[in-house]
């Protein structure tokens, strides 16, 4: 119980920090009016600029503005999108299902590929299959996602014409974005599964299981793999952040209509209310996923609860 309360408090602090960052982004250069008006301020009189400042509430002390920002944000009010002329929150929430869909497919794909590859690698260390998988993992961790996306478009979209190169609407549309987004987690989880399994294979309980004459398959799957997957659960929490952050680039490359592409587009048009709403909503989802995973982890592995 103490662990749960402590973890909930941590999440609250994180949410507070995220709100500070999202609120503070407009104050980074000193004057938020200047940021929002941009070059448009060159064509305005001083009085007009001052009117805008008062209208937006930027003439008030920063802590009053922050309190007002938080008060509205908890009600889902992030102001209006200057470009779309609708509430920024709605702009983001309209795009959220597409982002969650892409991240979920990439997540499942990463687990389906990485765990079997990691197991295969660990069962035959330093053999050809292990070397190939290790090299692929190293490449997967090194190749930038936008470059992988472009390569996939060139090969499967432009040359072979097997898959649509952008947009959404059919299952074919999600294949290339999901592979692009999953490439890094596949590589990382594969390496993690491999090293974790190799580590557990040396443990006494595995040696005992083997000495008792249990079949190798049972030793690997029932004893080694089950224990080796524990570190992967922690990694999954971080993966949520990677998938949500990575969606910014992947969605932009493939024209996937999600939150990431909306944020990039809003940055281009200086529609900062949408940027704030998008960043906060993604960070909240990330914090929520991490909280659930930590609680689940403490349930799976009780040592966590006692160590904290």
Partner 1 sequence: MTSLDQSPENGVAPTSEGPAAPPQQVVEHSKKSQLLSRLFRSKAATISLIILLLVLVAAVAAPWLAPNDPSAIKLIQRLKPPLYVNGAGTHWLGTDSLGRDVLSRIIYGARVSLTVGVSAVAISGTIGLLVGLLSGYFGGLVDDVFMRICDIQLSFPTIMLALTIMAVLGSGLDKLILVLGLTGWVQYGRIVRSQVISIKNDEFVLAARATGERQWQMLFQQILPNIWSPVIVIGSFTIATNIVAEASLSFLGVGVPPNVPSWGTMLADGRQYIGVADWLTIPAGIAISLTVLAINILGDWLRDYLDPRLKNIL
Nearer to partner 1 among residue 147 and residue 221 (C-beta): 147
Asked if 28 interacts with partner 1 (CB under 8 A), we say: yes
Segment interacting with partner 1, rule: CB under 8 A, options 105-113, 121-129, 204-212, 272-280: 272-280
Alpha-helical segments (H) within 126-225: 128-142, 145-152, 171-201, 204-211, 216-218
Asked if 283 interacts with partner 1 (CB under 8 A), we say: yes
- Among residues 299, 295, 243, the alpha carbon closest in space to that of 11 is found at 295
Give CA–CA dist 147/131, Å, rounded.
24
| C-alpha distance from residue 240 to each of 8, 106, 213, 253, 306 (Å) | 18, 10, 40, 20, 26
Asked if 39 interacts with partner 1 (CB under 8 A), we say: no
Ranges within 136-155 binding partner 1 (CB under 8 A): 138-139, 141-147, 150-151, 153-154
Give CA–CA dist 37/43, Å, rounded.
10
Decide if 112 contacts 179 (C-beta within 8 A).
Answer: no
Instruction: Compose the 214-253 pattern: x for residues touching partner 1 by CB under 8 A, - for all others.
Output: ------------------------x--xx-xxx-xx--xx
- Among residues 142, 144, 162, the alpha carbon closest in space to that of 153 is found at 162
- Among residues 306, 182, 297, 140, the alpha carbon closest in space to that of 232 is found at 297
Asked if 263 interacts with partner 1 (CB under 8 A), we say: yes
Asked if 56 interacts with partner 1 (CB under 8 A), we say: no
Burial class (CB in 10 A: 0-12, 13-18, 19+), 185: buried
Asked if 78 interacts with partner 1 (CB under 8 A), we say: no
The residue within the footprint of partner 1, chosen from 163, 264, 295, 304 (CB under 8 A), is: 264
- Chain residues binding partner 1 by CB under 8 A are 10, 13-14, 16-18, 21-22, 25-26, 28-29, 35, 138-139, 141-147, 150-151, 153-154, 158, 165, 195, 199, 238, 241-242, 244-246, 248-249, 252-253, 263-264, 267-268, 272, 275, 279, 282-283, 286-287, 290
């Amino acid at each position: 119980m103490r662990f749960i309360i402590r973890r909930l408090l941590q999440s609250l602090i994180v949410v507070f920090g995220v709100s500070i960052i999202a609120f503070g982004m407009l104050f980074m250069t000193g004057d938020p009016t200047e940021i929002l008006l941009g070059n448009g301020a060159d064509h305005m009189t001083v009085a007009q600029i001052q009117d805008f400042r008062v209208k937006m509430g930027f003439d008030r002390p920063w802590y009053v503005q922050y309190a007002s920002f938080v008060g509205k944000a908890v009600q889902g009010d992030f102001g209006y999108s200057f470009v779309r002329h609708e509430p920024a929150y709605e702009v983001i929430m309209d795009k959220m299902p597409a982002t969650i869909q892409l991240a979920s497919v990439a997540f499942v794909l990463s687990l389906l590929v990485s765990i079997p590859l990691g197991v295969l690698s660990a069962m035959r260390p330093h053999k050809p299959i292990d070397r190939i998988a290790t090299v692929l993992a190293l490449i997967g961790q090194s190749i930038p996602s936008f470059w992988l996306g472009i390569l996939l478009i060139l090969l499967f979209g432009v040359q072979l014409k097997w898959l649509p190169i952008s947009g959404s609407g059919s299952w074919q549309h999600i294949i290339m974005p999901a592979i692009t987004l999953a490439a890094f987690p596949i590589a990382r989880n594969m390496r993690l599964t491999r090293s974790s399994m190799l580590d557990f294979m040396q443990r006494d309980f595995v040696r005992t299981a083997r000495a008792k004459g249990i079949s190798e398959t049972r030793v690997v799957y029932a004893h080694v793999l089950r224990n080796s997957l524990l570190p992967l659960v922690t990694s999954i929490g971080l993966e949520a952040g990677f998938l949500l952050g990575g969606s910014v680039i992947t969605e932009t490359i493939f024209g996937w209509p999600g939150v990431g592409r909306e944020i990039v587009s809003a940055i281009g048009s200086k529609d900062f209310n949408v940027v704030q709403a998008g960043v906060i909503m993604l960070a909240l989802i990330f914090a929520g996923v991490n909280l659930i995973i930590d609680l689940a982890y403490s349930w799976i592995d009780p040592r966590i609860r006692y160590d904290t």
